[in-house]
Amino acid sequence: MSTNGKTNLVLDPEAPGLDEETRRRRRVLASLHALPVDELFKLMVRSGIYTEDGALTPPYCSDEPSAARPTD
């Protein structure tokens, strides 16, 4: 188990058949997954995803329906 409470998903950046963009993406995801929770949160605050009090910023929160978030 990782430090953020989620199970470890191994995305091998050196797996055969991957293009360089996918390899880079997998390396970045691995580095993010390895961060302690507090560091990951600080990164998301600096990136403008969350406010310091833990709320999503307007671009990331919406009550509008979307294909990724079906309505009841």
User: What does the alpha-carbon distance between residue 19 and residue 39 come to, in Å, rounded to a whole number?
Assistant: 29
User: What does the alpha-carbon distance between residue 24 and residue 30 come to, in Å, rounded to a whole number?
Assistant: 10
pLDDT of residue 72: 54
For residue 43, the 8-state DSSP code is H
pLDDT of residue 48: 95
pLDDT of residue 71: 66
34 Cβ neighbours under 8 A, 6+ residues apart: 2
Q: How would you write the pLDDT of the chain (72 residues) with one tens digit per residue?
A: 445 566 666 788 888 999 999 999 999 998 998 999 999 999 999 999 999 999 999 988 877 777 776 665
pLDDT of residue 6: 61
Q: Where are the chain's structural domains?
A: 1-60
